[in-house]
Amino acid sequence: MKILLLLNQPYPNGYALTKRFHLYAKGFIKNGHSAKLIIPIPREKIGKSNNNLSKGYHEGVPFEYSWRNCERSNSFIIRRYHDFYGAIKTGIIIINEKPDIIITSSFSFFIYCYLKLISLFMSFKLIREKCEVDHLNKDNINQFEKIQIKIINSFFNGFIVITRQLEEYQKYILESKSPCIKVPILVEDFKTGSLFQIQKRIVYTGTFLERKDGIITILKAFSKLRIYYPEYKLLLTGSPVSSPDYQKIVDTINEENLNNYVVFTGYLQERELQNTICSAELHILTKPENRQNHYNFPTKIGEYMITGRPIIATNVGVIGELLTNNINIFFAEYSSDAIAEKMKYIIENKQFATQIGNNGRLYALCNFDYEYHTNKMIEFFTKLILIKSANVYNTTSIETIKN
């Protein structure tokens, strides 16, 4: 089977979705199929790119930027030209490659229409990958927005969703008739054979947003912990400068006198990031309860779990369904007092905390293995290709197709 993956993120060095698409492609190849990543639109700022090659291989996965480089122009007009050219070139690649399956991340309506038009003259199946709910920054969507989403959904032969909640959203709220396959966060064991010196630091990786990851609440919780353990540092990977909450982050650090205790690492290359999280005393992921977090499944928690280090999280969404407090994770209420108290408990009970961390690692290896789940995806794609009757599309799950 030949599979093309269209990614709207930088590659090979990128963010959570980049890693997810990379493991899709890597898993397909390991399972004996052909896979290639296409990046139709340059995604990085000039002079700040973490990628240099517009075409090549990464860990055995072929990739190609449709435009001739990885960087996005500062000019509005030139960006529009790059987008148009990149889309056209992507279509040419599709025609030349003749794939059986195309998996796409989130793109503009124009690109979706273009892909659908090409599909009318070719035999590939068009699959949409959805890791987040539509209009994720809103707590509710109106009827007009729902109609827009339904129109876009009608272009696709199937969906990859990351949680049960998203599968039900597709089926009951959007009333989608196209089948879904649920693929959780995916992990690869990057810790095998390595030993790390545990350092007195608490690590957070991800977006610097209060709504998504509770960054302000984390800072306030760490400030309370510092009263008891002033030797600890809070290490935050990435940079908060582009965050809408940047000023709040700066103000909180100043108000809580954390300037000498909070470390921003900037963007880390993949191996450096892995070394950083493997040597942490503990990891933190305290999401508030809202519509976005009800539906998503943070990729970073899989990376945390692989390290075997203890994790503090809030019991929100699918995390609370799959993981168990004091067995493979530590849950805390979403408040700075509760989070600080849980951090203090872990520091004071290191042996038990390490056991919980090791349990989390075993759970991730058993349940989030990328080779296993990409093999299940191949089964899903095969059934889509073999479907002859449109009546079969009156289902929303792979289990129904099997019947």
- pLDDT bracket for residue 365 (50, 70, 90): very high
Per-residue model confidence as pLDDT tens digits over 73-129: 888 898 888 888 999 999 999 999 999 999 999 998 999 999 999 999 998 999 999
Mean pLDDT of 32-42: 95
Residue % of the chain over a pLDDT of 70: 96
Residue 176 has pLDDT above 60, yes or no: yes
Q: In whole angstroms, give the CA distance from residue 109 to residue 370.
A: 30
pLDDT for the residue numbered 183: 97
Nearest to 66 by CA among 50, 56, 55: 55
Q: Domain 201-367 is in which class?
A: alpha beta
pLDDT for the residue numbered 402: 39
Per-residue model confidence as pLDDT tens digits over 127-154: 999 999 998 888 888 888 888 899 999 9
Mean pLDDT of 339-367: 97
pLDDT for the residue numbered 370: 97
**b/e code 316-329 from CB counts within 10 Å (16+ = b):** bbbbeebbeeeebb
pLDDT for the residue numbered 398: 44
For the chain, which residues make up each domain, given as ranges? 2-186+370-402, 201-367
pLDDT for the residue numbered 390: 43
- pLDDT bracket for residue 53 (50, 70, 90): confident
What lies within 8 Å, CB to CB, of 333 at 6+ separation is: 314, 339
pLDDT for the residue numbered 192: 72
Q: How far is CA 386 from the centre of its chain?
A: 30
Is 2-186+370-402 a domain of CATH 3.40.50.970? no
pLDDT for the residue numbered 391: 43
- Cβ burial, residue 403 (10 Å; 0-12/13-18/19+): exposed
Residue 395 has pLDDT above 70, yes or no: no
The reply to whether 201-367 shares the fold of 2-186+370-402 is yes
pLDDT for the residue numbered 193: 65
Q: In whole angstroms, give the CA distance from residue 168 to residue 161.
A: 10
Mean pLDDT of 267-293: 92
∠ CA 214-279-235 to the nearest 5 degrees?
Answer: 35
Mean pLDDT of 264-286: 92
**b/e code 14-26 from CB counts within 10 Å (16+ = b):** bebbbbbbbbbbb
Per-residue model confidence as pLDDT tens digits over 246-259: 999 999 999 999 99
Please state, rounded to an integer, the average pLDDT across all residues of the chain. Answer: 91
Mean pLDDT of 369-392: 83
- pLDDT bracket for residue 1 (50, 70, 90): very high
Q: In whole angstroms, give the CA distance from residue 341 to residue 319.
A: 21
Q: What pTM value is reported for the model?
A: 0.91
- Determine contact, residues 157/178, Cβ cutoff 8 Å: yes
Nearest to 311 by CA among 324, 297, 294: 324
Nearest to 212 by CA among 321, 285, 106: 285
Count of residues in the chain = 403
Residue 6 has pLDDT above 70, yes or no: yes
The residue written with tokens 């709220």 in the block is 173
Kindly report each contact of residues 330-335 with a partner whose C-beta sits within 8 Å and lies 24 or more positions away, as own/partner.
330/356, 332/286, 334/214, 334/217, 334/286, 334/287, 334/288, 334/289, 335/217
- pLDDT bracket for residue 375 (50, 70, 90): very high
Residue 189 has pLDDT above 70, yes or no: yes
